[in-house]
Amino acid sequence: MAVDTTTTRKAAAAKAPAPADKARRRSSVALKFLMAGTGILLVLFLFAHMIGNLKIFFGEETFDHYAHWLRTIGTPLLPDEWYLWIQRGGLTLAVVAHIYAATVLAIRARKARPVKYAHRPKVQGSYAARTMRWGGVIVLLFVIYHILDLTTLTLNPNGVHGEAYRNVAEDFAPGRWYVTLFYVVSIVAVGFHLRHGIWSAVRTLGQQTQRGERIARASALALSLVLVVGYLSVPFAVTIGLVD
């Protein structure tokens, strides 16, 4: 029986995505990898920073020595503070790339939806996406405040350069409960953002099985909880007088 190859070819061409669609899909995958990669870098910083913060439980001398050491990493190969500035540059680039990828992907997802939902469907995907967006904004605002509070000390009325232990202890003193409250809310927001972000990154990096999905969810929850508890232990320790 003769096959009408022209019709078959036409049908296949109609089904196959246009080259522009293909390119867009490829660039969306690249953006997801960019989000996952920069996210992993930021999580690594968060773990290192949390471990550093926990040194406060070893006393003023140890903590201030650690804060001083941060400024001398890489010496004598590099001049003082150079490593710190390289790290700051890297983190800033990672944050900018992370936000850029998130924004472009969100705009594409919105454009791909032909009509606006009359009622938002209560599916986990859209709930998580909205939480991620607003959670991300809260985390960004928190980091800006936090740097002005404990690094540059611009917003810290009692801050003294070189006295990291005193700065933290006075920042979370009981009289400044509103600062502690703001940190608690922000760090919980960081936790939620990470829980979904870590799971999402694992998926982007190739996880597809149901068992892997369960492990990814449990690991994302465990890692986020460790970070939230580790970070919150410092302001709580100051509030109850364990660090003063």
**Site mask, ligand HEM, residues 12-51, x = CB under 6 A?**
----------------------------------x--x--
Please list every residue from 112 through 141 that binds ligand HEM, using CB under 6 A.
139
Write out the DSSP string of 175-240. Answer: GGHHHHHHHHHHHHHHHHHHHHHHHHHHHHTT--SHHHHHHHHHHHHHHHHHHHHHHHHHHHHHHT
Burial class (CB in 10 A: 0-12, 13-18, 19+), 46: middle
* 187 vs 202, beta carbon nearer ligand HEM: 187
Q: How far is the CB of 243 from ligand HEM (least distance, A)?
A: 10
Q: Is the dihedral of CA 192, 226, 140, 173 positive or negative?
A: positive
Q: Pick the stretch among 5-13, 25-33, 147-155, 212-220 that binds ligand HEM (CB under 6 A).
A: 147-155
Residue 101: count other Cβ atoms within 10 Å of its Cβ: 21
| Tokens coding 160 | 């003294």
Cβ atoms 16, 9 nearer than 8 A: no
Look up residue 72 and give its DSSP letter: T
What phi and psi, each to the nearest 5 degrees, are found at residue 80?
-50, 140
* 37 vs 52, beta carbon nearer ligand HEM: 52
Q: How far is the CB of 143 from ligand HEM (least distance, A)?
A: 5
Please identify which residue in 200, 235, 237, 243 interacts with ligand HEM, judged by CB under 6 A.
235
Q: How far apart are the first and last CA of the chain?
A: 90
Does position 166 bind ligand HEM by CB under 6 A? no
Look up residue 147 and give its DSSP letter: I
Residue with tokens 């991620």: 132
Does position 67 bind ligand HEM by CB under 6 A? yes
Please identify which residue in 24, 55, 65, 146 interacts with ligand HEM, judged by CB under 6 A.
146
Does position 55 bind ligand HEM by CB under 6 A? no
Please identify which residue in 40, 43, 54, 84 interacts with ligand HEM, judged by CB under 6 A.
84
Q: Pick the stretch among 32-40, 120-128, 213-221, 230-238 that binds ligand HEM (CB under 6 A).
A: 230-238
Which parts of this chain interact with ligand HEM (CB under 6 A)?
46, 49, 53, 67, 70, 84, 88, 139, 143, 146-147, 150-151, 164, 168, 183, 187, 190, 231, 234-235
